[in-house]
Structure 1
Amino acid sequence: MDENNDATETNSEAAVLGGLPLEPDSSMQEYYQLQNELLLLSISLMVVGFVSVWMAYSLTTALNYLIGACSGVVYLKLLARSVEKLGRSASKVSKNQLALFIGVIVVASQLDQLQIVPVFLGFLTYKAALIAYMFKALSTT
């Protein structure tokens, strides 16, 4: 009987790590699914945008777009991580990820090889993914 209590105690300890359950509840599972869908959609739009800009303009402009789009995906991931912490260890969304955007624009403005407009429009690709996801969600309901 003592062994069963020890096993139950060990299982309950294994189920909780640092006060947080290992198995996310259904709302967190939905959040992770949304996060993955948005990241995949952002990356897909980034690839389509890169190829389109390359065909319409030049490889240099397309690479500038790609730099901005990659930083937009990183920004989206940092924002998702900040939102995930809400309620557990933070009471508001951090603004640290905004430093990434500011840094990319400052670097683009200082280097002659980078163009600000393609970098900025590439950064906004994650917003296009958000809008596309919203329309997709509205059309299925």
Structure 2
Amino acid sequence: MPRSYLDDVRRPGQTVNPLFAFLGVKPVALERERAVLELPFRPEFVQGGGVMAGGLLAALADEAMAHVVLANLEPGRRTATVEMSVRYFRPVLEGALTATAELVHAGRRIVSVEAQVRDAAGRLAAKASGSFFILEPKAP
């Protein structure tokens, strides 16, 4: 993958990542060392208890971590999350979220990554860690 994908996903109106388009995720940085994604606030993200759904914070962290992995892949390879842990520190009532992910360890088949999700005031809302499997290209 992913050089063309990483270029395409940054473009306004992109269609290469339907989840980003649906949620409104904006890539801020997609680099080998880190990925930064922003999720603008929408009232539809608030659950019945009046706070942003924790699953959205987890999804944002997962995508940020996956994009660090993608930025490190050789052409033709893909990745999939195999394990993820999220710890929440504060409820998010309103405002955009920013997820910053950094590579922890890159093995041949498994890559470990960590992410922080911060609210619009820069306060830590959640931390995540994950492991990602590297999928080899299909044989012709």
Query: Do the two structures share a fold, i.e. TM-score over 0.5?
Result: no
Q: Which of the five TM-score ranges fits, normalised by the shorter chain?
A: 0.3 to 0.5
Which structure is larger by alpha-carbon Rg, 1 or 2? 1
Which structure would you say has the larger RCO, counting Cα contacts within 8 Å and 6 or more residues apart?
1
TM-score of the two chains, using structure 1 as the length reference? 0.32
Larger helix share, 1 or 2: 1
With structure 2 as the length reference, what TM-score do the two structures score?
0.32
